[in-house]
Every structure is written in structure tokens, then in C-alpha cells.
Structure 1
Amino acid sequence: MGSDTFVLAGRHFPRVTWWKNPGMRRTYICLMFVILTSATNGYDGSMMNGLQTLEPWQEYFNHPKGSLLGILNAIMSLGSLVALPVVPYTADILGRRMGILIGCVIMIFGVILQSISVNYGMFLAARFFIGFGVAIAHGASPLLVTELVHTQHRAVFTTIYNTTWYLGAIVAAWLTFGTNNISNNWSWRAPTIVQAVPSVIQIIFIWFIPESPRFLIDKGKPEKALKVLADCHANGDTQDEVIQLQFHEIQETIRLERQFEGNNWLELVRTKGNRHRLIILISAGLFSQWSGNGLVSYYIAKILEDVGYTDPVEQNLINGCLQIMNFIVALTMCFFVDKIGRRKLFLISTAGMLVAFIVWTICSAQYDIAGNRSAANAVIAMIYVYYLFYNIAWSGLLVGYTVEILPYSIRAKGMTVMWFCIDAALFFNQYVNPIALDNIGWKYYIFYCVWLGFELVVVWFFYIETRNTPLEEIAKYFDGDTAIVGGVGGTEKARELAAVMQVEETAVESQTQGTKI
């Protein structure tokens, strides 16, 4: 495909420059603030790392270690796990926008409770509520982004969504670096208060974003859906050829899915294509957190102490610089998703992480055995190299790839499965990692070396390419001849089902007319 065109329904159309299109420009600017859900998560991990380096926080909560420190981090993931049963229903019944709004309100409540905590138990409960709210907002935010942006920009925008994790992490890392100079409890209360900022911004800007046109069509409001598509992509021109093609493809696909496919949980395993999708969803959720990154995300202070970096200022400086590099790499890769392809990026990323982690493990062993300072410095270097490769794919594409491979009827439920795997992996990591590090040290890294090798095998055999493909048409890669894709770019199967549906509707109409006579 030429760089100056995009494909829809098998036809090429001129590319659109979003900042030259008033409707698209307004929508995208507001969406940039709405996709900050992931920033709350990133802020939390980096903040908890930073708080562990602050003496006032340590003294206030009686120097939590081992399982006490583990559950303090893990309780946020537990809150998310508890919320998951209601997540898909919030997004599918109340709407994508309402899901974001409800999640943000709960998160703000949790942050308030956290910032005024008077003891360990109150701080623990507050983090549970933050995790609960994050899960609901996470369950709706990427759906709204994927279903609202222009097909040409979907890859970039949905990939950017999860990179805001690092935006939050950068703010938290440098804020705690600065509050390290405060000798009272405001050194940790100030960072906890700031955690509410992404949610406050989202609550403000969500009112300027329209609802997903796919959700509106599913709820029997096609006129509103057409208007949203036209306002966001064509400055209100409902007769625009691209808008008409996209609208009819979405409308027909959702109509056929509702008629011939279910949207219950069993649908995720009913067909071969959906089972393939489920393997990707589960593996992506687990791999994104079980690749060794959980060690650094929440316990970098412990990692650094084990190789001789014990100064809190030094620890915060290393963490702060790491988050800046992470954000730059992750954001840059968003613009190469369609150019290079999802599959290639996942393979490069996973293979690079495997090599970096092996070297990281060897250097950690050398320092532990011989106290080699060069080995300690090499560990720091490998942490940076590891994250460089991690951010090539696993940061942004974690959401960008998984949300696009799902048909509308099971999109919310499928993403909930992925979030469940992420939260389960996070809970395990956050609770088990400090215990394992305390007891076996660098030997714990060997598990991740083996696991990364397994990840590479799974990615090689199951992750398929979807680049430069409209959202509804991605089903063809998974379902083949049985894919239900409506509209001009529809499949033969979809046309056959549409014909069956037309015959049934005609028969019903004839029967109704006969009854009236």
C-alpha cells in the first residue's frame, strides 16, 4: 500500500492529515487527554518505588518488608481483579464514556483516602479502591479509542494509549525524587495526592468526546452513529464516501454478529478463530507482566540495593532517567506499527528482552559472588537495554494489538480476559517478587530467562500480522472463510448470512401484512 493512501473495503483512499481536519483535530486533542487511564497505573508503580526510598514514609508505616510490602503493592491488582466481573457490562450496557467516568470517580475516591491515610490498613484499603477504579476505566478507554478514531490512525492512537503508563511513571519518579528533600510526611503525601490528576483531567475532557459509533449502532441508534463518524472524520459530511463505506460495514457486521453469533463468555472459545484470539489475549496479558519487568516496576530499590546502589538519591535518579527513556522509545515505536508490522515488533522485542535478561542475570551473579563493581554497572546498563527492547512492542501493542483482533460482539469481554491475566500476573509479581528476592536473590532471575524463551516460542507460532487493515476486516485473518464482515468489503459468508436474514425479514413482513388483512 502506498504511503499516501489507506485501504477500506478493498479500495484505496487518500490519506487524511488529522491536524488539517477541524473535526478530527478537535476529537483527537480531547482523546489525548482521555487516554490517560494507563498513566494512573504507571504513576502508581513508580510512586510506590519512590515511596520506598523516602525515610518519612518508611517510618510512618513501620518499615514494611517481605509480605507486608508485597501486599501493599499487590492490593491494587487485587482491587482490579475484584472489579473485573462488572467491567465488560459497564462498557457494553452503559457505554464506553460512562465506563471511563465511573472508573475515574472511584479512583479519585481511592486517592483521597490514600493521601489522608493515618495507618497501614487505611493506606492498604485506599490502594484497593484505586485498583478497582482503574479496572473499570481500563475496560472502557481502549474500546472508545479503537472504535472512534479514523481507520488510518487506529494503529498509532491505540498503541499510544498504553505508553501513557510511562508518562505517569516519569511524573511520579521525579516528584518523589524532589520530595526526598522534605523531611516530614508531606514527602509522601504530596505524591499520593498528585495521583488523582490523570483522573481529574479525564473527567473534564470526557464530556467533549462523542460515544463510540459502534456502541450507538449496537444500541439501535444508527443516525447518531453516522453523525459521530461524519463529525469526527469528515467535518459533518454524512455523504462522504469513506464515511458511508465505513458506516455500512460497521452496521452490517454488528447486525450479522448479533443475529448469528453470541456475545456471551462461551463465544470466546466456540470457534477456532476465537480460540486463537484467546491464546493471544491470555499470553499478552501474562507476558506483559511476567517478562521480568515486574521486578523493576515495583522493586527497583531492592534490585539496586542488591548490586550496591543504596543511596536513595541515586536510586531515584536511575529510576527517573529510566522512565524518560521508556517513554521516548515506547512513543517513538507507535509510529512504526503499520510500517514494520505487529508480528515483527513482537518478535524483535521478545528476543531482545531474552538476551538482555540473560546478561543481566550473569552480571548479578558476578557481583554477588565476587563483588565486582563493573558487574554492578553492567546490571544497570542491562536494565536499560532490557526496557529498550520491552518498549519496542510490549508497552504500546499490549492494548493496540489485542483490542483490534476482537470482533465488536466480544470486544469488551475479550479485553476483560486480558486485563484479568495482567492483574493476576501483577498480583503474583507484587506479592511474590519481594519474598523471592529476599530469599534467593539473583537466582530468581533464572526463572525469567526460561520464561522469556517460552514467550518467544508462543509469539512465533500464534501472533499474526494485522497491519493496514480496517477494524471490522481483521476478522478475516482469524476466521478465514467463516469471517463475518459486512458492507462492500464483506466476506462471502457474510453475504450468505445477510441473504438468509433478508429472506427471514421478508417472510415476517409478509406474515404481518397477511395478519393485518
Structure 2
Amino acid sequence: MGFTTYNAKIASNPYVVGSFACIGGGLFGLDISSMSGVLNNEAYLSTFGFVCSFFLSLSTTLTHEDQPNPSAQGAIVAAMPAGSLIGALAVTQLADRLGRKKTVILAGIIWVIGSILQCASVNRGMLVVGRIISGLSVGLASAVVPIYQAEITAPAIRGRMVSLQQWSITWGILLQYFVQFGCSYINGVASFRIPWGLQMIPAIILSAGMMFFPESPRWLFDHGYEEEALQVLADLHGEGNAKNDLVVLEYEEIKQQVYFERTEGAKSYLDLLKDGNPRRVMLGMSLQMWSQLCGMNIMMYYIIYVFEGAGLTGRRSNLIADSVQYVLNMVMTIPAIIYIDKWGRRPMLLVGTLLMGFWMFLVGGIQARFGHWAEQAGGGAVWVIDGNQAATRAVIVASYLFVCSFAVTMGPVSWTYPAELYSLKTRGKAVSLATASNWAFNTALAFAVPPGLSSIAWKTYFIFGTFNFAAFLHVFFMFPETVGRSLEEVEDIFKQGHTFTAWKIGKDVGKKTLAEVVEKTKEIERPKGAESPDEKHSSEVA
């Protein structure tokens, strides 16, 4: 049977399986650096016919008439998240019909196509099309990889595994940025075409490698392949022993949930509006929304603009300062991966939103106090800090601390929490909607940030700081703790409807024993017509 064609020795370690799938998250990171690293590359700017207003003074070969406003660069950057929005929405169907594993493989193939188009781009139109296609891949991967990871890992390490999605994003950012940095010493278009071409390699590895890994056991069971689902669980969590207590517990919980959902009828989008699902859908979507509105979008895509406005002069100096930002982003995600299942989701979100709000207001305050509007060569004005090294360093340090605060809190939790909120019946559709929310706001911010920095300058940081404090209040009153629970136990929390109080849901509330799960499973009969394909085949042969 094709769904279980995988190497059991390779696939017997959930850390190996989950971390390999994270390459899909790394594709997003590759895109961030592939664009942020060329924003002041003159070969890129001349090839695509513009210089952003922040860098008019850097070029002596281009005239102001050749240079559109910052919205043009925003449109190019926004092409990728716009495609990602479509890809994330497509997961609502693909993850349930095609399977988690095959959707990841498809994402890698699409990324290769998009990278080829970007690498060969000769004008903005071709570049935008390539970025949209690459965005489709990122949208698919960013939605389905957390689902896949959540469904193959045990509750005790689920947060750690899903948070690897964020770590892989930081690695993608870091590696691609240093490739961009190295290639910046090459003259001509090769300085940006080589990095755009090399980013195909991780996608090829992802698609080829996933063929050796198992399908999600929950998806297998839901589609009738119950023996295969048990074997995958045994390989992943019981060293091949199907009678392992944890394996039996998970298998019985999955069986209970699947049988119950089959008695309720076919899956549909209307399921998202039943019982406690609307609240869960909104929690997942809003968390991904806050992960964008916190301001990380500025600090990743447009960090060159931030440091230029802070008074950091010299292209090489800016690139080096940017690289420190990306290194910190990667390194500070490690503590979150190690301790996310000990710290809990709520504390990380609450502390993170407060810290990020503080750093955003600090950056905005320093810019407001020491900056001024300055005329640029060729026309136009930009808000900059001139001749005040202390203020420049303060903005850079505050930016670094902001990124550290995001990396150790909101970054990993924003992927982990939505992946564990939903029942099997709605998980594919609900997680894809949550991820689509991420890309919708990512697209809007990619358009809005360059004009914002060029028009309202330091006030832009105050806007994002306010968003962080609003997110703190939302998390405190609405987000229950989910750490350490099986996906089926999380379901029980929300079956209480609106009667539970988010901050009173402790780590042990709703925990089940194996005996309780088995007893409840016996109460639910297998729905008629729910026999597995193997059983159907046997009856046909008989």
C-alpha cells in the first residue's frame, strides 16, 4: 500500500521525521533573505529599473526619473506572501484529500519551478510571477508541515517538534543571507541570480527525502488504513512495539475521535462553525495575525531600511549589521525549542508580546527624538538620524533585542499553538485558514511598510508597538494552555464551550488515563460503511 512505503529504520525516530519536514519551513526563510539581501544591490536595482527612496544617494548611474516610489518594491516583496495566501488556502483540500506527506512533496516541486523563474527574471513582471509561484509552495508547506509534525509526535515533545518550523525559517533566513552577502562581491547580475538559483537545492532534498518518511497516522486511520496507522505509531513512539502503552493510548484516542466524527457525517467547511470550533478557528487565525502585526515583518524584510534610517551608513556596514540580526534570530530560537513544552504556550506569548511592544516603542521614541527629515539625492525625503552614534547604536541594539524577544516566544508558539487546537475532522481546513491569516497580513504589511517608513517614519514603530500590547490582552483573556496534552485532550477543553476561563486552564486539566480512553472508545461503535480499504478488498476477494 503506497501510503506506508517508507524506510522504517529512518522513520522510527520522530525527531528525524519532524525535523526533516521542517525544510518546508526553511523555504519561507530563504525567501525573506533572498529579497532583503538585494534591496541595496545596484545590479538588482538597475536590472529591475529602480532604486528605492532610501537608497537614492547610493547610486550615481540611475536618474530619479527611472525610480518609482517605495510601493514598487513593496509590490515585489508582497508577491510571495500573496501566493502563499493562495497556497495556504489550498491546503484546506489538499491536506485531507492528497495527504500530509504528498502535499509536502508537492510544495517542494512548486518551489523549484518558482526559483527557476526568479533566477531567469529579466523584468519585474517575470520576477513577480516567479515569486507568486514560490509563494504557492511556501503557503502549502507552512500550513501542512505543522499539521504533519503535530500528528506524528507524542504530546510530551509536540511543542518542541512543531517549533522547529520556526527554527528552520531562521536557518533559511541566515543561510540565504550569507549566500547573498558573499555573492554581493560579484559584479553584475550573478550577484543576485546565483543565490536565487541555489535556493532550489533544499526543495529538491525535501521532495526526494519525504518519500522515505511515513504518512500521518491520524490521516491514515481517517482514510481507513488502520493497521498501517498503528504500525506508524509503533515505529515512531514504541520502537516498533504496537503494544507499547503510549502507542495504545494514542491509537485508542485516534480511534475514538475518528469513529465519533464519522457518526456526524462527511467533513465540510460548515464543521468550522459547529460546537466550539468558531472560537478555535479565530484563536488560530488571530495568533498568526499577531505574529505579523508584532512588527517582525519590518525587522526581517526591511531591516536595511531600519538601519539606514537609524543613521548606519555604508552598504557593507549595513549588511554586516543585518547579519547579526539574523544570527540572533536563529540562536535565540533554540531555548524556545528546548523549553517550549516546559514553559507552556501562554507564558511565552504573554512575555513575548510585552517585550516586543516595549522595544518597538523604544525604537520609535529614539527615532522621534533624534531623527529628522532629510532630502535625498534625486529628490524625496527620508527620516534619518544624523551625527549621533549613541542614538544609532541604541536603535540597532533595540532592534536586536526585539528580534531576540520574538525568536524565544512568539515565533515558535505561533506555529505550534494552531497546529494543536483542532480536531482531526477540522484540522486541515482550520490550520490552513490560520496560516492564510498569516499570509494575508504578511502581504498587506509588505505593501504598507515601505510607504509607511517614507511617510510617517517613526510613528510606524508606535503602531506595531500598540499591536503587541493589544495581542497581550487578547492572549490573556482568550487563549487556554495546551501544553502536554494529546490532540484529542485539547478537543475536550473546547467542548466545554464558553464556560471555561482561559487563564484557569492548568497543565493537568482534562488529562486522561489509558483506561479512560479505552472505556470511552468502547462506547462508540464503528459507523456502518467505515470498514478499511483492506477489509473491503478482502470481502471482494471472498
Q: Does 1:356 align with 2:372?
A: no
The amino acid that maps onto 2:291 is S
Q: Which residue number corresponds to residue 32 of structure 2? A: 45
In 2, Cα distance between equivalents of 1:338 and 1:31: 16
Name stretches of at least 5 consecutive residues in structure 1 with no aligned partner.
1-20, 507-517
The amino acid that maps onto 1:471 is L
| Alignment partner of 2:421 out of 390, 401, 405 | 405
1:98-497 alignment, distance < 5 Å: 98-260=102-264, 263-271=267-275, 273-369=276-372, 371=386, 372-480=388-496, 488-490=515-517
Shift of 1:389: 1.2
The farther-off stretch of 388-397 and 126-135 is 388-397
TM-score, length of structure 1 as denominator length? 0.88
In 2, Cα distance between equivalents of 1:403 and 1:212: 14
Shift of 1:351: 0.7
Shift of 1:173: 1.6
The farther-off stretch of 380-389 and 309-318 is 309-318
Q: Does 1:80 align with 2:84?
A: yes
In 1, Cα distance between equivalents of 2:121 and 2:12: 42
In 2, Cα distance between equivalents of 1:361 and 1:384: 14
In 1, Cα distance between equivalents of 2:94 and 2:514: 29
The farther-off stretch of 22-31 and 212-221 is 22-31
In 1, Cα distance between equivalents of 2:81 and 2:38: 18
Q: Deviations over 1:432-482 (max 9, x none)?
A: 111111112112222112222211110111111112212221112222399
Shift of 1:241: 2.7
State the secondary structure of the residue aligned to 1:137: helix
Contact 1:484 1:490 (C-alpha < 8 Å) held by counterparts = no
Q: Deviations over 1:303-323 (max 9, x none)?
A: 111111132211111111111
The amino acid that maps onto 1:32 is S
Contact 2:48 2:122 (C-alpha < 8 Å) held by counterparts = no
In 1, Cα distance between equivalents of 2:89 and 2:12: 35
State the secondary structure of the residue aligned to 2:156: coil
Q: Deviations over 1:42-67 (max 9, x none)?
A: 11112211111211111111125311
Cα pair distance change 1:240/1:487, threshold 3 Å: closer
The amino acid that maps onto 1:206 is M
In 2, Cα distance between equivalents of 1:24 and 1:56: 45
The amino acid that maps onto 1:137 is A
The amino acid that maps onto 1:186 is A
Contact 1:281 1:402 (C-alpha < 8 Å) held by counterparts = yes
| Alignment partner of 2:74 out of 70, 92, 95 | 70
In 2, Cα distance between equivalents of 1:417 and 1:146: 17
State the secondary structure of the residue aligned to 2:242: coil
The amino acid that maps onto 1:301 is I
In 1, Cα distance between equivalents of 2:390 and 2:397: 10
Contact 1:103 1:136 (C-alpha < 8 Å) held by counterparts = yes
The farther-off stretch of 125-134 and 276-285 is 276-285
The amino acid that maps onto 1:297 is M
In 1, Cα distance between equivalents of 2:463 and 2:399: 17
The farther-off stretch of 415-424 and 238-247 is 238-247
State the secondary structure of the residue aligned to 1:445: helix
In 2, Cα distance between equivalents of 1:489 and 1:436: 56
Shift of 1:261: 6.7
Count of residues in correspondence between the two structures: 481
Q: Which residue number corresponds to residue 54 of structure 1? A: 41
The amino acid that maps onto 2:102 is M
Q: Deviations over 1:64-112 (max 9, x none)?
A: 5311101100011111223344212111011001101111111100001
Contact 2:284 2:421 (C-alpha < 8 Å) held by counterparts = no
The farther-off stretch of 478-487 and 292-301 is 478-487
The farther-off stretch of 217-226 and 134-143 is 134-143
State the secondary structure of the residue aligned to 1:441: coil
In 1, Cα distance between equivalents of 2:528 and 2:91: 34
Q: Deviations over 1:267-303 (max 9, x none)?
A: 22322x3222123112111111111111121111111
State the secondary structure of the residue aligned to 1:125: helix
Contact 1:92 1:215 (C-alpha < 8 Å) held by counterparts = yes
In 2, Cα distance between equivalents of 1:289 and 1:241: 40
Percent identity of paired positions between Structure 1 and Structure 2: 26
Contact 1:96 1:212 (C-alpha < 8 Å) held by counterparts = yes
In 1, Cα distance between equivalents of 2:403 and 2:356: 8
Contact 1:294 1:426 (C-alpha < 8 Å) held by counterparts = yes
Contact 2:35 2:77 (C-alpha < 8 Å) held by counterparts = yes
Shift of 1:491: 10
In 2, Cα distance between equivalents of 1:354 and 1:424: 22
Shift of 1:429: 0.6
Contact 2:41 2:184 (C-alpha < 8 Å) held by counterparts = yes
In 2, Cα distance between equivalents of 1:453 and 1:146: 29
In 1, Cα distance between equivalents of 2:46 and 2:222: 54
Q: Deviations over 1:139-170 (max 9, x none)?
A: 22111111112333212111112221100000
Cα pair distance change 1:346/1:367, threshold 3 Å: same
The farther-off stretch of 133-142 and 65-74 is 133-142
Contact 1:484 1:491 (C-alpha < 8 Å) held by counterparts = no
The farther-off stretch of 403-412 and 238-247 is 238-247
Name stretches of at least 5 consecutive residues in structure 2 with no aligned partner.
1-7, 53-69, 373-384, 500-509, 530-542
Cα pair distance change 1:489/1:68, threshold 3 Å: farther
Cα pair distance change 1:338/1:26, threshold 3 Å: closer
Shift of 1:130: 0.2
Cα RMSD over matched residues?
2.4
Cα pair distance change 1:374/1:198, threshold 3 Å: same
In 2, Cα distance between equivalents of 1:484 and 1:353: 33
